[in-house]
Chain A
Amino acid sequence: MRTADLTTALVLMAGGLLVIWDSLRLGIGWGTDGPQSGFFPFWLAMFLLAASGVIAGQAWRRGDGKPFVTRAQLRPVLSTLLPAAGFVVLVQWLGLYVASAVFLGFYMRWIGRYGWIPVILLGVLFPVITFVVFEQWFLVPMPKGPLEAWLGY
């Protein structure tokens, strides 16, 4: 827990420094018509720097305690996060509907160990329902891919 706390605080400090650097470029003083663009972010970042310094100090003084994440916990988290990231990549190429079918089917098969019949059934049903609800009823367009183009949407 302590390592994770320290790392996060350091990342925040680095972010703060980055913001300060960009704010100095924009100017943090008084322009012709009021405070310059960098004024507000500069002071926010200064306070963030101070706050993350205190957080780092608190984490340093405290004992290590329980681990941030155990190996047994990390497995299910990664086996959800990585397929989700893969899904987002697929959305760019195949469109949202096909990608969600692949994602749902993959997850059901891999994690849930379902047979092919429920996997294919739900994998088709879910994107069709979302397509009807969003695209047809509420007129909210979603990213579409080659399949939709072939079907004429």
Chain B
Amino acid sequence: MGWENLLLGFQVALHPGNLAVAVLGITLGTVIGVLPGLGGANGVAILLPLTFSMHPNSAIILLTSLYWGALFGGAITSILFNIPGEPWSVATTFDGYPMARQGRGGEALTAAFTSSFFGAVFSVVLITLFAPLLAEVALRFGPPEFFAIQLLTFSSFIGLGGGNPVKSLASILIGFILACAGLDIVTGQLRLTFGITDLMKGFDFIVAVIGLFGIGEILLSVEEGLSFRGVTAGINSAVVVRTWRQLPRLYRTIVRSAFIGFWMGFKPGGATPASFMSYAFARRFSRHPERFGKGELEGVVAPETAAHAAGGAALLPMITLGIPGSPTAAVMLGGLIIWGLQPGPMLFKERPEFVWGLIASMYTGNVIGVAMVLAFVPLFAAILRIPFAILTPVIVAVCAIGSYAVHDSMIDIWYMLLFGVIGYVFKKLDYPLAPLVLALVLGDLAENALRQSLIMSQGSLLIFFERPISGLITAVALLFFALPVINPYVRRARGERKPPVEVAAPHDG
């Protein structure tokens, strides 16, 4: 059944209008990825209102292209300016920036773009193969299974996310509580509004994303008194060809990193740990581990492949289950709902041209993307030379536009500012922001799934263990929840002296 569907998808993705949309999306996305304070998630959130008047097929292509563009853009700032635009680009700076300082910036950028392209395509091929199967299975899921998957989603932030597990838990709970505010559609009662009319509408997660990631990030970056001191790098065809000749030697690192990226990436918050893990593995298996950190090409290839593979994989649960794997995927899911589509497995049956157009556009988007960034790197890098005193107010104003446009409501601009301050404080205190956003998005779905399950079982929580699929998923979720408690004992029992591969940065994939 697969091929004719994919063919149908390519007919959508290769439509000239949609190709133009993809080019626009990649351009804007790369600009967003390069700009400080704007990343994949809030970039997509700000531009979401632009898609309201578009056809859903073109709209989703615009958003996914933005996403790829933002991923490519992150590599430019990491390598040339030593500023990781996104947490998963941190590992890219380790060897990318030293290479740029040695005058090998063009080589590093070519390697980064090419290996991200491989990583993304690897994930997209796996999505093409597995998404229909997963959707088929998910069609038989009931409320208990969906609630169990949600549990698994959030437990992986706690068990695998790195950082302080209690703070991750607090972030998740805050997100769910904010999602409760407003009208309870099941009983028609007002919750957590305390008699204030403005609170009746609740909190929109898109506004939260723009505030937490946009305004919060701006406040953090002005604090460091940003003066961008970048390295210039020229890319010409000779550099590209020379770099491409070196890449086949690194096929083992590329394949390994792509697997790590996909495996970590379809679970939430996976892109950042995936990039660090594949960097660590590349160094461990290298014949010259001492060269890492001083400008080794392999040190750029490994994290970039993994980050892009993870970025692609994060879309798999979004398409098949309607459960996003990253804040950016969550914003896209929000888009789906606004365009009048019901996310979830039924989409494969009801709107095949949409789903397969989306999948096919991941191939075309990456091909267009890698060609464009290779051709126009100097232009994109020039954006960072715009003075900060101009960039900051422009970004704040654009964030305000995006927040207002979601519901045409002034209060949302105030919420954006409030979430900005929260984002700034939380980021400094190491509360992860991604789980908060995902909980805010999934709050209603999770609560409904829980309610329906409890109605099915007449109030018994055992229902999550009695059904085979949900039982298995719940058990894994509970294991993840317990990991931070168990881990120290396991480590002591094994007699390990040093902790295993540690994740240095909080994840905000």
A binds B: yes
Q: Hey, which bits of chain A sit against chain B, CB under 8 A?
A: 1, 4-5, 8, 12, 15, 19, 22-23, 26, 30-31, 33-38, 40-41, 44-45, 47-48, 51-52, 54-55, 58, 68-69, 73, 76-77, 80-81, 83-85, 87-88, 91-92, 96, 100, 103-104, 107-108, 111-114, 122, 126, 130, 134, 138-143
Residue of A nearest to B389 (CB): A112
| Shortest Cβ distance from residue A36 to the other chain B in the assembled complex, whole angstroms | 7
> Cβ of B219: which chain A residues have Cβ within 8 Å of it?
77, 80-81
Cβ–Cβ < 8 Å partners of B459 in chain A: 30, 35
- Cβ-closest chain B residue relative to A113: B389
User: How far apart are the CA atoms of A5 and B166 in the complex, in Å?
Assistant: 13
Count, chain B residues at interface, CB 8 A = 62
Interface-located stretch among B45-53, B78-86, B130-138, B356-364 = B45-53
Chain A residues with Cβ below 8 Å from B410 are 91-92, 143
Given A48-B170, A96-B404, A138-B53, answer yes or no on A77-B424 (Cβ-Cβ < 8 Å).
yes
Beta-carbon contact of B428 and A84 below 8 Å: no
- 30 interchain pairs, CB-CB under 8 A: A8-B431, A34-B451, A34-B455, A35-B459, A38-B191, A40-B450, A40-B451, A44-B176, A45-B177, A48-B177, A51-B173, A55-B170, A77-B219, A77-B223, A80-B222, A80-B396, A83-B393, A85-B417, A88-B413, A100-B397, A103-B397, A104-B397, A108-B389, A108-B393, A112-B388, A122-B390, A130-B401, A134-B50, A140-B50, A143-B404
Q: Decide: A103 and B396 in contact? CB cutoff 8 A.
A: yes
Query: Is A87's CB under 8 angstroms from B400's CB?
Result: yes
Does A142 contact B390, Cβ atoms closer than 8 Å? no
Q: How far is the CB of A45 from the nearest CB of chain B, in Å? A: 6
Contact call A142/B405, Cβ cutoff below 8 A: yes
Residue-by-residue, is B155-170 near A (CB-CB < 8 Å gives 1, otherwise 0)?
A: 0000000001011011
A31 to B186, CA, bound (A): 12
Interface of A is mostly: helix
Chain A proximity of B179: nearest CB distance (Å): 9
Please tell me which one of the listed residues A36, A68, A76, A126 contacts residue B394 in the complex, with CB atoms under 8 A apart. Answer: A126
Contact with A along B196-226 (1 / 0, CB 8 A): 0000000000000000000100110011110
Whether A88 pairs with B170 at a CB distance below 8 angstroms is no
Q: Is B462 an interface residue (CB 8 A)?
A: no
Chain B residue with the shortest CB-CB distance to A46 = B173
A68 to B429, CA, bound (A): 8
Contact at A41–B421, with CB atoms within 8 Å?
no
Determine if A88 and B450 form an interchain contact, defined as CB atoms under 8 angstroms apart.
no
> With A and B bound together, what is the CA distance between A19 and B192 in angstroms?
7
Complex CA distance for A76 and B388, rounded to whole angstroms: 12
Contact mask for chain B residues 140-181; partner A; CB cutoff 8 A; 1 contact, 0 none = 000000000000000000000000101101100110110010
CB of B428, distance to nearest CB on chain A (Å): 6
Chain A residues in 8 Å Cβ range of B387: 112
Contacts A51-B169, A126-B394 given; indicate if A88 touches B401 (C-beta within 8 A): no
Q: Which 8 A-B pairs have the closest CB atoms?
A: A112-B389, A100-B397, A48-B173, A107-B393, A34-B455, A104-B393, A51-B170, A73-B223
Are A31 and B187 in contact, with the CB atoms below 8 A? Answer: yes
By a beta-carbon cutoff of 8 Å, the part of chain B in contact with chain A is 49-50, 52-53, 164, 166-167, 169-170, 173-174, 176-177, 180, 184, 186-187, 189, 191-192, 194, 215, 218-219, 222-225, 387-390, 392-394, 396-398, 400-401, 404-405, 408, 410, 413-414, 417, 420-421, 424-426, 428-429, 431, 447, 450-452, 454-455, 459
Chain B residues near A138: list those with CB within 8 A: 49-50, 52-53
Question: Inside 8 A of B189's CB, which chain A residues have their CB?
Answer: 26, 37
Question: Nearest Cβ in chain B — how far from A8, in angstroms?
Answer: 6
Is A41 a contact of B191 with CB atoms below 8 Å?
yes
Residues of A within 8 A of B398 (CB): 130
* Chain A residues, CB < 8 A from B164: 55, 58
B177, B191, B421, B455: which contacts A81 (Cβ < 8 A)? B421
User: In the complex, what distance in Å separates the CA atom of A33 from the CA atom of B429?
Assistant: 42
Q: Which residue of A lies closest to B176 (CB)?
A: A44
A112-B387, A142-B405 as given contacts; A58 in contact with B454, CB under 8 Å: no
Does the CB pair A54–B393 fall under 8 Å? no
Nearest opposing residue in chain B for A33, CB measure: B455
Please determine whether B400 and A41 come into contact, CB atoms closer than 8 angstroms. Answer: no
Inter-chain contact B50/A87, CB cutoff 8 Å = no
Taking a contact as CB atoms closer than 8 A, the residue among B50, B390, B428 that contacts A108 in the complex is: B390
Nearest Cβ on chain B to A99's Cβ, whole angstroms = 8
Residue in B closest to A107 when the chains form the complex, CB atoms: B393
Tell me, in angstroms, the Cα distance from A107 to B452 when the chains sit together: 52
Chain A residues closer than 8 Å to B224, beta-carbon distance: 73
Chain B residues closer than 8 Å to A92, beta-carbon distance? 410
Question: Do A142 and B166 touch across chains, with their CB atoms under 8 A apart?
Answer: no
CB pair A44–B180 under 8 Å, yes or no, is yes
Q: Which residues of B contact A134 (CB under 8 A)?
A: 49-50, 401, 405
Q: Which residue of A lies closest to B169 (CB)?
A: A51
Other than A36-B187, A40-B176, A41-B191, give 14 A-B pairs with Cβ distance below 8 A.
A4-B428, A30-B459, A48-B173, A55-B167, A68-B428, A77-B424, A80-B218, A84-B417, A96-B397, A100-B393, A103-B393, A107-B392, A111-B389, A114-B389
Q: What is the bound-complex CA distance between A80 and B15, given in angstroms? A: 44
A36, closest chain B residue (CB): B187
A134 to B49, CA, bound (A): 9
C-alpha spacing A68/B426, complex, angstroms: 11
